[in-house]
């Protein structure tokens, strides 16, 4: 068994391996597999195999710099989506106690206490006053 581990270690040396994009591709493929279990479509079958083959290709690739650049690009997009979803879930979670409004001057997202009526608010970023109506 030790001989197999040494051969596998030698084979994987100087290869890229797994990263966040690799995991995202595997999860995408798994989601399409579950969907295809109910629908049984040859088109979805393609959507299963393409990310899976791409993930395997990336993990065995020796062009480490190119794979890192791909992962960095993916992480930029993923972090933007994650931040947007995080804010949306936070707004839903705090809907009973707070309201979120944008400053009309600097477009900053403000978290305001839920006090009904019209209020004048000063933006902490640009220090401009503006009127807000909270229902």
Each residue's pLDDT expressed in tens, for the chain with a length of 135 residues: 678 988 888 888 888 889 999 999 999 999 999 999 999 999 999 999 999 999 999 999 999 999 999 999 999 999 999 999 998 999 999 999 999 999 999 999 999 999 999 999 999 999 999 999 988
In whole angstroms, how far apart are CA 11 and each of 6, 20, 67, 88? Answer: 9, 22, 18, 45
CA dihedral 60, 62, 3, 26 (to 10 degrees): -20
Query: What is the distance between the alpha carbons of residues 80 and 10, in angstroms, rounded to a whole number?
Result: 38
């Amino acid at each position: 068994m030790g001989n197999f581990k040494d051969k596998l270690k030698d084979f994987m040396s100087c290869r890229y391996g797994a990263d966040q994009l690799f995991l995202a591709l595997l999860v995408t493929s798994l989601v399409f597999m579950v969907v295809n279990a109910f629908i049984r479509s040859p088109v979805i079958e393609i959507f299963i195999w393409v990310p899976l083959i791409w993930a395997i290709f990336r993990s065995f690739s020796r062009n480490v710099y190119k794979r890192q650049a791909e992962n960095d690009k993916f992480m930029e997009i993923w972090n933007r989506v994650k931040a947007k979803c995080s804010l949306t879930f936070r707004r839903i979670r705090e809907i009973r106690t707070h309201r979120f409004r944008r400053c009309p001057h600097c477009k900053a997202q403000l978290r305001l206490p839920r006090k009904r009526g019209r209020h004048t608010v000063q933006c902490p970023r640009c220090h401009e006053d503006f009127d807000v109506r909270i229902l």
